A and B are shown apart, each in its own frame.
Chain A
Amino acid sequence: MNFYGIRAIYIFEMSRTWRTLMESIASPILTTSLYFIVFGAAIGSRMGEIDGISYASFIIPGLLMLSLLGESISNASFGIYFPKFSGTIYEVLSAPVSPFEVVIGYVGAAATKSLIIGLLILATARLFVDYEIMHPLWMVSFLLLTAVTFSLFGFIIGLWADDFQKLQIIPMMVITPLTFLGGAFYSISMLPPFWQKVTLFNPVVYLISGLRWSFYGVSDVKVGISMVMILVFMLLCMLSVWWIFKTGYRLKD
């Protein structure tokens, strides 16, 4: 293992985070606070409870997942896309680091950053709503696995993208709709039966449901299924990354 190599990439990526502190940390927190004010306090006070949970509390896991997914993807995709764009990727490619080590460095830093943001959002939520966490260990596992999985996914997007537009298109056209339709703001039991079935094809449903279970002990799908789904998606991302490095796709040709 090239430990110094992993460390160099990790430190480099984290220093980018500290350098752009306002954009990287302050803005997701501000955005999420706005959600809490509008949906939690303003609209939420007129909504009934869902599964015995006040609406403001109900949306916390969904909002947390929303920013965790978005942040993980954008951090990781930008982290690897920018060196490709500026040409500095030559150094990583010519260094004695294995693809596995490169992924640990980039994905590790992206996941770290989105976890920091996730925890800050959780703390911010406390200012607006009282909530409790019934299964803290499960919560931490869900956050960790989601951060890592979607950082991997973002890493793939960053490798695939060959212009800035492509970098934006998957988060905007795929992830945002899936999250909004994944039960961030409602329980899927509120949908008509047909749409309840359709919605089960949305992977984000399992993430939000699992995380909500860790908070309040209620979920749309069984927590075990949520955990299996996220592990399956992680495996798929790992296989894709492995294939990309093996073939040199968009990297070495």
Chain B
Amino acid sequence: MESIISIRNLSKTYASGFRALKDINLDIQQGEIFALLGPNGAGKTTLISIICGIVTPGEGSVTVNGHDILTEFRASRSMIGLVPQELATATFESVEATMSFSRGLFGKPPNPAHIEKVLRDLSLWDRRKDRIINLSGGMKRRVLIAKALAHQPQVLFLDEPTAGVDVEQRRDMWAMVRGLRDTGVTVILTTHYIEEAEEMADRIGIINDGEISVIEEKSVLMNKLGKKQLQLTLQKSLTAVPAELADYSLELQQEGNVLIYTFDTQKEHTGISELLRQLGKLGIDFKDLHSSQSSLEDIFVSLVSDKA
């Protein structure tokens, strides 16, 4: 796969002295869904804003399909559609008019058939004559998406697309994003909902404090960093982990009633059978056992807190 966006050594320091981005290197591949994860203030929006031309970059370079975002801004920007985080809409305009505005702004001749298709796909066709001020929050969010798609972009940025959107609409939006990917559109979304990244993304980048700490295929990331835990509910509670079991990473929880063994799925020997044999020898019986894999959320939290 070719990379459609190439970011090299990008840094950004705001006039206030705040270093929002520190030496970012990132390649986004053609046709993928890339999720940029990070806590609030990590630099997600700054990164997107620079690529789209809303914020002037500091050091480093960014190209979109080989076009430099500064020297060839026309070529690079025409390929991009942006759905911002804030619900910023031309309040008094009609849905239809604001769509035509967006298409024109991006240098495309009018195309009513395309506008109709986008509005129908986003269930906005019936409201096309309505002024934006009369729409609900969820509809305004869809108007922003419609505007971003008005000029048929090759790359779509979704900055926190499902913030404040209810569960059902969230599912619809995910389906729409997948549909776009199927037509060859590259999608980059930022989110702090881990489940969104877990559900949608092909690859995940984790950004924290202006630095990208991890860029990985979602499945690889989950395998690599995913820890498994074996949870044993004991017959009789223990006051401490017996000295004979000191070699295992064990933890007692719930007043000594639950013993938790954390192991690495990548290792050849997980040590489970040895542990269970040892427990048998020591006469520690258990009522129940189950194992679980850490979610992306746990991975994320551990990565972010490691850095801090």
Residues B105 and A92 in contact, CB atoms below 8 Å apart: yes
When A8-B101, A11-B101 are in contact, do A87 and B54 touch as well, CB less than 8 Å? no
When A94-B77, A94-B82, A96-B73 are in contact, do A15 and B107 touch as well, CB less than 8 Å? no
List, in ascending order, chain A residues with CB within 8 A of B248's CB.
Answer: none
Please report the C-alpha to C-alpha distance between residue A2 and residue B86 in the assembled complex, in whole angstroms: 27
Please report the C-alpha to C-alpha distance between residue A233 and residue B52 in the assembled complex, in whole angstroms: 34
- Least CB distance, B299 to chain A, in whole angstroms: 32
Is A221's CB within 8 Å of the partner chain B? no
State which residues 1-53 of A face B: CB under 8 Å.
Answer: 2-5, 7-9, 11-12, 15-16, 19
Interface residue from B54, B78, B91 paired with A93 (Cβ < 8 Å): B54
- Least CB distance, B86 to chain A, in whole angstroms: 5
Is B30's CB within 8 Å of the partner chain A? no
Q: CB-nearest residue of chain A relative to B76? A: A96
Please report the C-alpha to C-alpha distance between residue A29 and residue B78 in the assembled complex, in whole angstroms: 42
Interface residue from A9, A16, A98, A248 paired with B105 (Cβ < 8 Å): A9
Is A130's CB within 8 Å of the partner chain B? no
Residues B106 and A90 in contact, CB atoms below 8 Å apart: no
List, in ascending order, chain A residues with CB within 8 A of B104's CB.
Answer: 4-5, 7-8, 11
When A5-B104, A95-B77, A252-B56 are in contact, do A19 and B92 touch as well, CB less than 8 Å? yes
Interface residue from B75, B80, B86 paired with A94 (Cβ < 8 Å): B80
Residues A12 and B90 in contact, CB atoms below 8 Å apart: yes
> How many contacts A-B (CB < 8 Å)?
84
Query: A65-100 vs B: 1/0 string, CB under 8 Å?
Result: 000000000000000000000111011111111100
Residues B88 and A88 in contact, CB atoms below 8 Å apart: yes
Residues B92 and A88 in contact, CB atoms below 8 Å apart: no
- Least CB distance, A103 to chain B, in whole angstroms: 14
Residues B55 and A253 in contact, CB atoms below 8 Å apart: yes
- Least CB distance, B291 to chain A, in whole angstroms: 47
Residues B108 and A4 in contact, CB atoms below 8 Å apart: yes
Please report the C-alpha to C-alpha distance between residue A86 and residue B98 in the assembled complex, in whole angstroms: 15
List, in ascending order, chain A residues with CB within 8 A of B102's CB.
Answer: 8, 91
Residues A4 and B109 in contact, CB atoms below 8 Å apart: yes
List, in ascending order, chain B residues with CB within 8 A of A5's CB.
Answer: 104-107
- Least CB distance, A166 to chain B, in whole angstroms: 19
When A90-B54, A252-B55, A253-B14 are in contact, do A95 and B91 touch as well, CB less than 8 Å? no
Is B60's CB within 8 Å of the partner chain A? no
Interface residue from A16, A90, A95 paired with B84 (Cβ < 8 Å): A90
| 25 A-B residue pairs with CB within 8 Å | A4-B103, A4-B106, A8-B104, A12-B90, A12-B101, A86-B89, A86-B90, A87-B88, A88-B88, A88-B90, A90-B52, A91-B102, A91-B105, A92-B105, A93-B52, A93-B54, A94-B52, A94-B77, A94-B82, A95-B77, A95-B105, A96-B74, A96-B76, A96-B106, A252-B56
Q: Other CB < 8 Å A-B pairs besides A12-B90, A94-B54, 20 of them?
A: A3-B107, A4-B104, A4-B107, A5-B107, A7-B104, A11-B101, A12-B97, A86-B88, A86-B91, A87-B86, A90-B52, A94-B52, A94-B53, A94-B82, A96-B75, A96-B76, A96-B106, A96-B107, A248-B56, A252-B55
Leading 7 A-B pairs by shortest Cβ distance: A8-B104, A87-B88, A96-B77, A96-B74, A94-B52, A95-B105, A4-B104
